[in-house]
Amino acid sequence: MGERTQHAPGTFSWAELATTDADTAKAFYAGLFGWQAEDLPVPEGGYYSMQRLDGRDVAAIAPQPQAQRDAGAPPAWNSYITVESADGAAARAAELGGTVHAPPFDVLDAGRMAVIQDSQGAFFMVWEPKNNIGAGLVNVPGALCWNELAAADLDVAADFYANLFGWRMEPSEGMPMRYMMIKNGQTTNGGMREKQPQEPPYWLVYFAVGDADAAIEKVKELGGSAIAGPYEMAMGKIAVVQDPQGAVLALYSGQLEA
């Protein structure tokens, strides 16, 4: 269950933490999710730390780029979306009013990617796989299970992403706020909600856990903090937390897709 050998175009396929203290972050997530790290050297120096469960890639931890540190950007989880062509996706995003912050470039022989900011300011990455598909395990405890956009204008966001990835949006009934489910073909692929006034526009990464209440206590024990929840939902429980460096992520316990 949850094993992947490929991701269809338009699918969230990878999560990557850009942090100011990679070693402390690795210890935190190992304690929280049971991840095993392998540090892979990169050509410009430093390393890219692959995080694995049962031998399968589930996420990565990397040093935050100096330009982001200089700009005062906090550590953050990045969401990657698989595409057929990183060059085509970047060009289309620009046509739709987005900003291409890092034009398409090759990541050795693993794949080709670009860093994009949508028309309302949320960042995401597109990933054209070559030798690396992204996550080899999803929708199990300790792995990526959901991605959620906080946007000022849901209709504008829906149009942008529908035209970029071919997503279809379905309103979710019975929510305390306006919420749209993202459909990539027949697969539910994440969600979009209206952001709160104090929030920036951003993609929130969710990881599955066996017990949300116990996971929150573990976050605190490991030096992180709770921001919100846990909230009871029809499908399970969710909570929003911060790691010790301040990166925000969500935890989910409940029913999971196969």
189 or 60, higher pLDDT: 60
CB distance 84 to 9 below 8 Å:
yes
pLDDT of 44: 75
pLDDT of 177: 79
Q: pLDDT confidence of 236, banded at 50, 70, 90?
A: confident
- Is 88 inside any structural domain? yes
Query: Stretch 2-13: mean pLDDT, rounded?
Result: 95
- Is 135 inside any structural domain? no
Helix or strand run (H / E) with residue 113:
strand 111-117
- For β-strands 187-194 and 202-208, DSSP reports them as unpaired
Query: Stretch 172-184: mean pLDDT, rounded?
Result: 86
pTM of the model: 0.95
Quote the number of domains for the chain: 2
CB distance 158 to 180 below 8 Å:
yes
Q: What are the tens digits of pLDDT across the range 115-164? A: 999 999 999 999 999 999 999 999 999 999 999 999 999 999 999 999 99
Query: Stretch 17-23: mean pLDDT, rounded?
Result: 95
Mark whether 117 and 159 lie in a shared domain: no
- Is 73 inside any structural domain? yes
Give the mean pLDDT of the chain: 94
What's the CATH code of the domain at 80? 3.10.180.10
Mark whether 20 and 117 lie in a shared domain: yes
Mark whether 92 and 173 lie in a shared domain: no
* Domain of residue 240, residue span: 144-254
Mark whether 21 and 91 lie in a shared domain: yes
Does the pLDDT of residue 175 top 80, yes or no?
no
Mark whether 74 and 157 lie in a shared domain: no
- Is 134 inside any structural domain? no
Mark whether 103 and 157 lie in a shared domain: no
Does the pLDDT of residue 46 top 90, yes or no?
no
21 or 44, higher pLDDT: 21
pLDDT of 69: 78
Query: Stretch 92-102: mean pLDDT, rounded?
Result: 97
Q: pLDDT confidence of 68, banded at 50, 70, 90?
A: confident
pLDDT of 37: 97
Q: What are the tens digits of pLDDT across the range 179-235? A: 999 999 999 989 999 999 989 999 999 999 999 999 999 999 999 999 998 988 878
Mark whether 206 and 152 lie in a shared domain: yes
Domain boundary at 129, 162, 185, which?
A: 129
Mark whether 37 and 77 lie in a shared domain: yes
**Distances 46 to 43, 64, 174, 206 between C-alpha atoms, Å:** 8, 11, 47, 27
Q: Which of 74, 40, 79, 80 is nearest to 244 (CA)?
A: 74
pLDDT of 39: 94
Mark whether 118 and 44 lie in a shared domain: yes
**Distances 195 to 123, 151, 157, 200 between C-alpha atoms, Å:** 15, 5, 12, 7
- Is 7 inside any structural domain? no
Pair of tokens at residue 88: 């085509």
Domain boundary at 67, 97, 129, which?
A: 129
Mark whether 60 and 120 lie in a shared domain: yes
Does the pLDDT of residue 174 top 90, yes or no?
no
Cα 255 from Cα 235, distance rounded (Å): 6
pLDDT of 1: 63
pLDDT of 73: 81
Residues 6+ positions from 198 with CB-CB distance below 8 Å: none
Q: pLDDT confidence of 93, banded at 50, 70, 90?
A: very high
Query: Stretch 72-101: mean pLDDT, rounded?
Result: 96
Q: What percent of the chain has pLDDT over 90?
A: 82
> 117: buried, middle or exposed (CB in 10 Å: 19+, 13-18, 0-12)?
middle
Mark whether 18 and 58 lie in a shared domain: yes
- Is 139 inside any structural domain? no
Mark whether 152 and 122 lie in a shared domain: no
- Is 2 inside any structural domain? no
